Chain A
Amino acid sequence: MSVIEVQGVSRSFVVRRKVGWLGRERETVHAVRDLHFGVERGEMVGYIGPNGAGKSTTIKMLTGILVPTSGRLTVAGMVPSTQRTALARRIGVVFGQRTTLWWDLPLRDSFDLLRRIYRIPDARYRANMATFTELLDLAEILDTPVRQLSLGQRMRGDIAAALLHDPEVVYLDEPTIGLDVISKSSLRDFLRETNRERGVTILLTTHDLVDIEQLCSRVMVIDKGSLVFDGSLDGLHALGDARRTLVVDLVEPGEPIRSLGADTVKVEGPRQWLTFAADTSAAPLVADIARRYQVADLSILEPSIEDVIKQMYTRTPREG
């Protein structure tokens, strides 16, 4: 059985809007509609979508904070909306924008409180603290009150806090938001290791597609409340029919190159840009061009996942 099962889950809100002087209009907004997906134990899944697409609503329903309007969902065999506090022992949550730690307490005291609240056995607590202190480099900041920590330090503390009680499933809501490049990279290393070594299932929302490329074998894309893609990164590339780009430097400027299903999209002196379908090999194209033109240099640009997703969002029909 999948550790997360979501079947036909929808969530709508009634919003009241002021109309004119006294009038009020009720409007139903569908934050999420008819979601279907399952996550297997030990998977690391990226969950992406533009702001307001329904990512946070989904996470809130998976933790039990928010009750679905319709549909069925289970996490670790439990129904979050009715078994919220029991489920809390088996999941970990990191809200990137706000801390789950106690603002005024030193990090060490926050961890100690969590140990008592979650009733973590002493041996497990010591072992986990030792691991996280080393891997997340916490030693220097353990005695600092949370409000004095930098964003990166706080995030490390938050992630350790979410993992202290050995949860089976961890939701990370934008864990890398606002972090510098080095912090991001060491955080990703840690998450990869946690996922592999501890078998923790991780669902990660992010705006940073590098997170997805480096961490997740599977990605789900949500847009305007509906799941528009669920599959591998390669599949996402194929679906977005993004094109690869071949940059050709000719010895001398010339006419736009014509070759084997490639489109010449730009010419700048001797340099020309040709695009071709991402799922075809570059070899025959390169061979053909090298045979017919005087080529000084060649390079291939892969489509960025960002382009793919941008394309995907613009393609799904907009409403209203």
Chain B
Amino acid sequence: MVDAARSDLRAYAVLAWMWIRVSLTYRTSFAIMTIGQFLITGLDFVAILVMFSNVDSLGGFSLAEIAFLYGGSALCLGCADLVLGNIERLGQRIRMGTFDVMLVRPVSAYIQMCADQFALRRLGRITQAGVVFAWAIVALDIDWTWARVAMIPYLVVFGTVIFLALFTIGAAVQFWTSDASELANAFTYGGSTLAEYPMTIYPLEAVKALTFVLPLTFVNWYPSLFILDKPDPLGLPSAVQFAAPVAAAVLSLAAATCWRAGIRRYRSTGS
């Protein structure tokens, strides 16, 4: 079990490193793509800045507080996107019949799919989100305690895991309908955009759905409530603010189940 995990990680590193080397052979193109990603994803935040030139707060949150929410969500999405962003091409591979090739290699097909065409240019998105996040942390007048400091890496790690699981579920669905990648994107990229804003601007039913059905509030909303010392509009017990690992574990389990079921289906239908 441990051996298998180690050899999977090793295979991932080998595959990813190869794609990094390929992308670095065309340095100019790599630089342009990375800066492009930085700028394009930055437009999202520019929109928020424009909004705040007209208003002073949104849903009871200041610009710096929203920058914190935005940075947290975008950073987690960016990290997950870097790790397995190309898994969404599964449907395309199935249609072209090239998924079979991954099944005859001595490495799990999941690892191969995650590392396929590993795109380091996605660091552009991560950098942009990181800059906004860092600015928010500096600009905000946070009452720092050790628990609040520890909550920052906690947010990034478990938020990333939640997005990894969502990407995986979105890809696994393509074992059934191979052109579902747009639908999957609505949940991952779309979900991350929802989480960039304070939940106080959404109807309570939507916030409940984002907590108990598609648990995106655990990515950045609940950790932020703790760090920023804000009340929970749902009035849930304060333990919920630390429940990100639970949400991440449940989603990961669901993702693993979906992926396995998908592989099983593929291997029993051949399509």
Residues of A near any B CB (own CB < 8 A): 13, 57, 60, 63-67, 81, 84-86, 88-89, 91, 93, 95, 97-100, 102, 104-105, 109, 112-113, 116-118
CA separation between A67 and B107, bound complex, in Å? 18
Judging by beta carbons under 8 Å apart, are B104 and A113 in contact? no
Q: Name which residue of chain B comes closest to A115, CB basis.
A: B14
Q: Shortest Cβ distance from A240 into chain B, in angstroms? A: 31
CA separation between A81 and B117, bound complex, in Å? 28
* Segment 1-49 of B: residues with Cβ below 8 Å from A: 11, 14-15, 18, 21-22
CA separation between A98 and B102, bound complex, in Å? 12
Judging by beta carbons under 8 Å apart, are B103 and A57 in contact? no
Q: How large is the interface on B (under 10, 10 to 19, 20 to 34, 35 or more residues)?
A: 20 to 34
Task: Write out the residue numbers on chain A whose beta carbons fall within 8 Å of the beta carbon of B15.
Answer: 113, 117
B108 part of interface (Cβ distance < 8 Å) = yes
CA separation between A112 and B18, bound complex, in Å? 9
Q: Shortest Cβ distance from B90 into chain A, in angstroms? A: 15
Q: Name which residue of chain A comes closest to B263, CB basis.
A: A84
Q: Shortest Cβ distance from A64 into chain B, in angstroms? A: 7
CA separation between A109 and B19, bound complex, in Å? 10
Judging by beta carbons under 8 Å apart, are B14 and A65 in contact? no
The 10 closest A-B pairs by CB, nearest first: A88-B106, A116-B14, A65-B103, A93-B104, A89-B106, A100-B101, A67-B267, A63-B104, A66-B270, A85-B106
Given A105-B18, A109-B18, A113-B18, CB of A100 within 8 Å of CB of B104: yes
Of A13, A57, A117, the contact of B105 (CB 8 Å cutoff): A117
Q: Name which residue of chain B comes closest to A64, CB basis.
A: B103
Given A85-B107, A113-B18, A117-B14, CB of A95 within 8 Å of CB of B269: no
CA separation between A197 and B107, bound complex, in Å? 29
Q: Identify whether the interface residues of B are mostly helix, strand, loop, or mixed.
A: helix
Residues of B near any A CB (own CB < 8 A): 11, 14-15, 18, 21-22, 96-98, 100-101, 103-108, 117, 267-270
Task: Write out the residue numbers on chain A whose beta carbons fall within 8 Å of the beta carbon of B103.
Answer: 63-65, 84
Task: Write out the residue numbers on chain A whose beta carbons fall within 8 Å of the beta carbon of B269.
Answer: 13
Could you show 12 A-B contacts with beta carbons less than 8 Å apart? Answer: A13-B269, A63-B104, A65-B267, A81-B267, A84-B103, A91-B104, A95-B97, A95-B101, A97-B97, A98-B97, A113-B18, A117-B105
Task: Write out the residue numbers on chain A whose beta carbons fall within 8 Å of the beta carbon of B14.
Answer: 113, 116-117
Task: Write out the residue numbers on chain A whose beta carbons fall within 8 Å of the beta carbon of B107.
Answer: 85, 117
Q: Shortest Cβ distance from A283 into chain B, in angstroms? A: 52
CA separation between A45 and B97, bound complex, in Å? 25
Judging by beta carbons under 8 Å apart, are B106 and A86 in contact? yes
Task: Write out the residue numbers on chain B whose beta carbons fall within 8 Å of the beta carbon of A95.
Answer: 97, 100-101
Judging by beta carbons under 8 Å apart, are B22 and A118 in contact? no
Q: Name which residue of chain A comes closest to B117, CB basis.
A: A104
Judging by beta carbons under 8 Å apart, are B97 and A88 in contact? no
Of B22, B100, B104, B270, the contact of A88 (CB 8 Å cutoff): B104
Task: Write out the residue numbers on chain A whose beta carbons fall within 8 Å of the beta carbon of B267.
Answer: 64-67, 81
CA separation between A86 and B4, bound complex, in Å? 11
Told that A100-B101, A117-B106 touch, could you supply 17 new A-B pairs with CB distance under 8 A? A60-B270, A65-B267, A66-B268, A67-B267, A84-B103, A88-B104, A88-B105, A95-B97, A95-B100, A97-B97, A98-B96, A98-B98, A98-B101, A105-B18, A109-B22, A116-B14, A117-B107
Q: Name which residue of chain B comes closest to A102, CB basis.
A: B18
CA separation between A105 and B267, bound complex, in Å? 28
Task: Write out the residue numbers on chain A whose beta carbons fall within 8 Å of the beta carbon of B117.
Answer: 104
Task: Write out the residue numbers on chain B whose beta carbons fall within 8 Å of the beta carbon of A118.
Answer: 105-106
CA separation between A91 and B103, bound complex, in Å? 12
Task: Write out the residue numbers on chain B whose beta carbons fall within 8 Å of the beta carbon of A66.
Answer: 267-268, 270
In this complex, the member of A63, A64, A65 whose beta carbon has the largest number of chain B beta carbons within 10 angstroms is A65
Q: Name which residue of chain B comes closest to A85, CB basis.
A: B106
Task: Write out the residue numbers on chain B whose beta carbons fall within 8 Å of the beta carbon of A13.
Answer: 269-270
CA separation between A66 and B263, bound complex, in Å? 10
Q: Shortest Cβ distance from A180 into chain B, in angstroms? A: 25
CA separation between A193 and B261, bound complex, in Å? 42
Task: Write out the residue numbers on chain B whose beta carbons fall within 8 Å of the beta carbon of A63.
Answer: 103-104
Q: Shortest Cβ distance from B19 into chain A, in angstroms? A: 9
CA separation between A93 and B268, bound complex, in Å? 20
Q: Shortest Cβ distance from A75 into chain B, in angstroms? A: 12
Q: Shortest Cβ distance from A135 into chain B, in angstroms? A: 23
Q: Shortest Cβ distance from A198 into chain B, in angstroms? A: 19
Task: Write out the residue numbers on chain B whose beta carbons fall within 8 Å of the beta carbon of A67.
Answer: 267-268
CA separation between A5 and B11, bound complex, in Å? 31
Judging by beta carbons under 8 Å apart, are A85 and B108 in contact? yes
CA separation between A143 and B108, bound complex, in Å? 28
CA separation between A105 and B108, bound complex, in Å? 21
Q: Name which residue of chain A comes closest to B100, CB basis.
A: A65
CA separation between A268 and B19, bound complex, in Å? 68
Task: Write out the residue numbers on chain A whose beta carbons fall within 8 Å of the beta carbon of B97.
Answer: 95, 97-98
Q: Shortest Cβ distance from A197 into chain B, in angstroms? A: 24
